[in-house]
Amino acid sequence: MCVVLFSSFHGMAQPLLLPADSITDLNPWWSNSITVLGYADFNANTVYNELPVGIYKGGELSRSIRDRSLNALNTEHNTAGYVAEGRLTWAGSLCREERGKWRPLISIAHHELGGVRFTKDQYAITFFGNAAYENTTAQLSPSGFEQIRYQTIGIGAQQRNTGSMVRLDLVRGNAFSSVDVTNATLFTATDGRELRTEVAGEYFASDTAGGGWDRSNGLGAALSGQWNTSFKIGARQVRFGIGVEDLGFVAWNKRSVAIKKDTLVTYDGWQVDNIFALDEVIIGKDVVLDTLGLRYNRGSVTRLLPFRAHLMLGIDLGNTGHLALNVDQRYMVGYIPQVSLMASRRFGQRTQLGAVASYGGFGALRVGLAAKHRIGKHVLVQLSMPHVPGFFMARTRGLGLAFGAEFAF
């Protein structure tokens, strides 16, 4: 007999999705399921939402908006980042009795992630210029930036009764850029007559000719896996899970670029010996690059993907409640371990609601809500908001939305 005993939502730990529930979830005896997941989230530990929203909308960014975020910054360790992902998964069933514990799965996904770590002086110079730093040295490190766009397609297997799974993906890299500055300062002399900067860091990027969906600038592979188990403490059922997503690499092609600097640069303008050569100083890219030492080298480079490791510990509260503690970490600039505590309850036979509090990741404390509802016998939908105040308050930090739908037949 063909059997499927675990909802596809929970084969991998998804951010802020509600835990499995045998009453609310789809009938586990369906032979096939198709799952659609979407997730978009922005978070920051100091910058208010009104700043990135204003930048996104374009136009003039008022001084009051820039000032409010400036006053909230730490001297160092200011972070911000985003994640935007979408996934389509098919999970079938194996009909041969001796292999009935496992079912095959095929999954395709799109990923876009970015993270930044910066100092207060960097922010001030970026949004207000360096006039306030006359005869002063601005601290521009430690700082970093990383951004990547890639797709995955993979095959794997999932254990029907626990949701434990393993999947191997082929990775297609569209674009990436990375900056890591270990030491950087900027000194502005009186009246701005001289700028002196000390820089130690490195920059890498994929082919600068383009990195859209239609471009393939690198290939790689990734492994994802999840192990789930459950046991009892007294009369209460306890669940435990640990896993990793997108543990792998991309080998970016030979048109990738790199700059490695450890130098002191003093700039007091360009000397022009011939007035008729002035156009070369103003518009000559080669002159500017040579003067500032920003020539880059081309060549292939291999980089790790922004993989995510996570663990979950949950306990059932009576027949309808559940409490879960989640901890995760991403391999991404600006990301610190994130801890989430979610409490959920089932209402009737079809609906499950939950509330979550989280701290870490790209930001600080957030409070969110999640909901799950079964429609008939074949459809299950989920919706969650990692930080509800982000939808109503400009002077808060973080905004996101996660959506999932499962179709069984």
**What confidence tens digit (pLDDT) does each residue in 278-329 have?**
444 444 445 545 555 566 788 899 999 999 999 999 998 888 899 999 999 9
Q: Is 385 domain-assigned?
A: no
- How confident is the model at residue 198, as a pLDDT? 86
Q: Is 50 domain-assigned?
A: no
Mean pLDDT, the chain, integer: 85
The Cβ of residue 260 has, within 10 Å, a number of other Cβ atoms equal to 12
Q: Is 40 domain-assigned?
A: no
Q: Is 16 domain-assigned?
A: no
Question: How wide is the angle at C-alpha 91 spanned by C-alphas 96 and 32, nearest 5°?
Answer: 70
Q: Is 271 domain-assigned?
A: yes
Looking at this protein, which amino acid is placed at residue 373? H
Collapse the DSSP code of 393 into the 3-class scheme (helix H, G, I; strand E, B; otherwise coil) and give the result.
coil
Q: What is the DSSP letter of 54?
A: H
Please answer whether residues 141 and 119 qualify as being in contact, where contact means their C-beta atoms are separated by less than 8 angstroms. Answer: yes
Instruction: Give the CA distances from residue 139 to residues 130, 163, 187, 222, in Å, rounded to whole numbers and listed in that order.
Output: 12, 49, 9, 38
Question: How wide is the angle at C-alpha 358 spanned by C-alphas 356 and 362, nearest 5°?
Answer: 140
Q: Is 311 domain-assigned?
A: yes
Cα separation, 300 vs 304, whole angstroms: 14
Q: Is 253 domain-assigned?
A: yes
The Cβ of residue 323 has, within 10 Å, a number of other Cβ atoms equal to 15
Cα separation, 344 vs 356, whole angstroms: 9
pLDDT, tens digit (0-9, with 9 covering 90-100), for 156-205: 998 877 888 999 999 999 999 999 999 989 888 887 778 888 888 889 99
Instruction: Give mean pLDDT, residues 259-278.
Output: 62
Total of domains in the chain: 1
pLDDT, tens digit (0-9, with 9 covering 90-100), for 50-91: 999 898 888 888 999 999 999 999 988 999 999 999 999 998
DSSP line for 215-270: ---EEEEEEEEEEEEEEEETTEEEEEEEEEEEEEEEEE-TT-EEEEEEEEEEE---
**314 lies in which domain range?**
67-80+108-374
Helices (H), 284-409: 285-292
- How confident is the model at residue 294, as a pLDDT? 62
Instruction: Give the CA distances from residue 102 to residues 93, 96, 218, 226, in Å, rounded to whole numbers and listed in that order.
Output: 7, 10, 33, 14
Q: Is 308 domain-assigned?
A: yes
* Percent of the chain with pLDDT strictly greater than 90: 56
Please answer whether residues 54 and 65 qualify as being in contact, where contact means their C-beta atoms are separated by less than 8 angstroms. Answer: yes
Cα separation, 328 vs 60, whole angstroms: 38
Nearest Cα residue to 115 out of 68, 179, 184: 179
Helices (H), 160-232: none
Burial of 330 (0-12, 13-18, 19+ CB in 10 A): buried
Nearest Cα residue to 69 out of 78, 82, 57: 78
Residues near 63 by beta carbon (within 8 Å), at least 6 away in sequence: none
Q: Is the pTM of this model over 0.85?
A: yes
Residues near 302 by beta carbon (within 8 Å), at least 6 away in sequence: 220, 249, 250, 251, 252
Instruction: Give the CA distances from residue 176 to residues 100, 296, 321, in Å, rounded to whole numbers and listed in that order.
Output: 41, 16, 43
